Copies of this chain bind each other. A is one copy, B any other.
Amino acid sequence: MFEFNVVSESKVSPARAGIIQTSHGAIETPVFMPVGTHGSVKSVTPEELKDAGAQIILGNTYHLYLRPGCDVIGRFAGLHQFIHWDGPILTDSGGFQVFSLAKLAKISEEGVTFQSHLDGSSHLLTPANVIEIQNCLGSDIIMCLDDCIQYPASKEDSLNALEITTNWAKRCKQAWQEINNGHNALFGIVQGGMFKDLRQRSAEELMKIDFPGYAVGGLSVGEPTDVMLEIAEHSLPHLPVSKPRYIMGVGTPENLIELVALGADMFDCVLPTRNARNGQIFTQFGTVNISNAQYKEDTEPLDSDCQCYTCRNYSRAYLRHLYMARELLSYRLNTIHNIHFFINFMKKIRQAILTNEFEEFRKAYYQKLEN
């Protein structure tokens, strides 16, 4: 089961609010998806994620395939039961990690061979087996295998990766149709490097194959923010308005609000969770580092308007103390706050779209940052 409906559109920009229906529940878009790399959003429980308003989480196929592996997760009929999360799950195809994390990644006609970063063992990911693996994981939204090139990349390399990505997308679609279990939706991934014409071509080729949803990949890989936004701006309009549009691996609150303004619906990023563990806290007034000496005796919460568990119960002074003492609770309390911030931020954006006040919201957001 998979359905997407736009429920409201901004009158002055491509921003829109929608609802995705999956076998594991509904997702209101635009949505931010916390990242649970190894089947756990680092330091927090599913109950805490729900408390923070999370509607869908992301898992990394590359990591879960290598450890604990499909044998183990298959015993639990998929990730949901294994990790104790009953909401929707999206998994990537593993391609991004193969190219960024594994050793000796090598593309062939068949797929991509690589050596595990854990033990050096050799593996092969093909369009067909990434669909198979993600089916075993029981994900609600699964992704095509794509060829993720490094930044910067020449036009030739970008074109080459685009062509491989289209070829793999076709084979992924075929493998997905053959299994056809009706439990998940397959998304195609737009590539094309930092070249607008290649991005357009990639989007058009994927649309011909026809997917239930589309992602824009290969962004936030080291390029300047304005380039990222420009490429997104030239990718999104070439994707069908009736399908969800997902920008992979992005980004800061400012990135998110700009990408929503360009018509994007879905986002994932390790930023709120990873930075929480480094003591960086997101607030409506910008980011702060909790290790800062100014918080030493500060009895106030991180953000007095915030309703998260951390802000309801703990002071900046205690959070600073936990961070300075490298207490495990520090990572967790910071993570709860940051996830709540990102999710609540997207909720406010959605509400503003619904009431046709998105542009006002966007302006007000930047004004607060400047104060």
Contact = CB atoms under 8 A, between A and B. Distances in A.
Contact of A84 (B43, B76, B318, B332): B318
Interface string A236-279: 00000000000000000000000000000000000000000000
Interface stretch (A21-29, A64-72, A155-163): A64-72
A328 B325 contact: no
A322 B40 contact: yes
Nearest to A325: B38
A321 B68 contact: yes
Contacts of A332: 43, 45, 328, 332
A331 B45 CA distance: 12
Contacts of A39: 318, 321-322
A117 interface: no
A297 interface: yes
A329 B332 CA distance: 9
Interface string A52-84: 000000000001000110011001100000111
A-B pairs, 6 with minimum CB distance: A43-B328, A68-B321, A38-B325, A40-B329, A40-B327, A84-B313
Nearest to A74: B297
A166 interface: no
A362 interface: no
Contacts of A63: 325
Contacts of A366: none
